[in-house]
Amino acid sequence: TVSEPKVILKADWSQIFRGETVTLSCQIQGGGGTQWTYEWRQNWSNIPPTSSEYRIDKVKDDHSGDYSCQGRSGFLLTQWSDAFRLSVSRKPQPVLSVSPSWLSPGASVTLSCEVKPPSAGWRFFWYKAKKYGSYSYELLPGSSNGTQQNSYIIHGQKHTAGYVCRAGRGESAFYSDYSEPSFVWSAAFPPAASLRVNPDRVQLFRSESVSLSCEGNSTEWRVKRFPETGHLSDFNCSTWGTMTGSSCIIKPFWSDGGVFWCESGSGEFSNAVNITVQDKDDGIILQSPVHPVTEGDPVTLSCRTKQQKLLSDVSFYHNNKLLQNDGREELKISAVSKSDEGFYSCEHSGQKSPQSWMSVQGEEASNI
């Protein structure tokens, strides 16, 4: 007895993406040693293959549809199989996340690559973004054949860096798109360059001007920004300011804040500074260190108006938890420790400042 044919997708995953190689198999049970010639049809129209497998290289949208098969041997003809629905989806773009996003020099960084929508069979490839403007990527060690795990740990990271990932699967090496770059930021000064902010603050009023200057051993330094929105379209200084030499001048009523750093033509990086914008001219800002504070050093935080008036009766918050509200003007830490690192903000008369990150580094890092 010959059973009704059945169309099977020869893959360990059910979701198919544009560009993949697809093989459909027509399976007929029974019939002894019958030699079958196969007929295929897509959306009720006959298609050429006569073998038991139908291979589609670099599948496209118009390959989506219902596929059926039947077997023929002399005068013996099977029924048409039930239709198998092949759906072709657009090539996925993974989402890369980095933890922590702000690091202490020498800390480990974990990259995680997620393919959306989820699907099986992926191997993951990890890259360091050498030059963001031209998207030059360098494979990370141990990544040439991909990793089965969708995470990758980088040990001993010291300075600001950007990373991307992509996923691949199948014998014919189908790859997803590259993820958008994700960054790990370091406020510590690397040997190559430093970013200086004038006025020397990380919180600014929208109506203020600010100058960001690259200081280092290269004439090709450019100020870069990763905006709060996370979109890379307004990536260069020329989009939201004026580049003069190695300084970027941002005029009043500039756009939202973000993380700023200097990048050379060869892909070297300075420290990163996270600048936050206060939208209201009658609002308040937190005065906090722009650059990392060394363990054991004193640090003072204060709350100020646009006219830089020092406010009293202020509440201070660390990582959104109330830290001090005893009426004092300033938050003073006599000897800062690693546990003091984090996000700070202040509140006065019902008005709250934006929050800013204060980085704490060990004494050995301050001598790098």
User: Would you say 61 and 88 are in contact if contact means Cβ atoms under 8 Å apart?
Assistant: yes
pLDDT single digits (tens) 185-196: 887 766 667 888
pLDDT band of residue 170 (cuts 50, 70, 90) is confident
The Cα-based distances of 211 to 77, 118, 214, 245 in angstroms read: 81, 44, 10, 12
Residues 271 and 219 both lie in one domain: yes
The whole model's pTM is what? Answer: 0.74
Please identify, among 89, 121, 141, the residue that sits at the C-terminal boundary of a domain.
Answer: 89
The Cα-based distances of 182 to 97, 223, 292 in angstroms read: 6, 18, 22
Residues 235 and 198 both lie in one domain: yes
293-294 and 360-361 beta bridge pairing: parallel
Q: Is residue 58 part of a domain?
A: yes
Predicted confidence (pLDDT) at residue 105 exceeds the cutoff of 50 = yes
pLDDT band of residue 181 (cuts 50, 70, 90) is confident
The Cα-based distances of 188 to 108, 251, 257, 270, 348 in angstroms read: 15, 27, 20, 8, 31
pLDDT single digits (tens) 47-86: 887 899 999 999 999 999 999 999 998 888 899 999 999 9
Which residue segment(s) compose the domain that 290 sits in? 282-368
> How many structural domains are present in the chain?
4
Supply the CATH number for residue 164's domain. Answer: 2.60.40.10
Both structure tokens of 76: 């013996």
Cα–Cα distance, 352 to 203 (Å, whole number): 13
Residues 330 and 304 both lie in one domain: yes
Percent of the chain residues past pLDDT 70, beyond the cut: 90
User: Would you say 249 and 232 are in contact if contact means Cβ atoms under 8 Å apart?
Assistant: no
Q: Is residue 300 part of a domain?
A: yes
Please identify, among 224, 248, 279, the residue that sits at the C-terminal boundary of a domain.
Answer: 279
Give the distance from CA 45 to its chain's centroid.
44
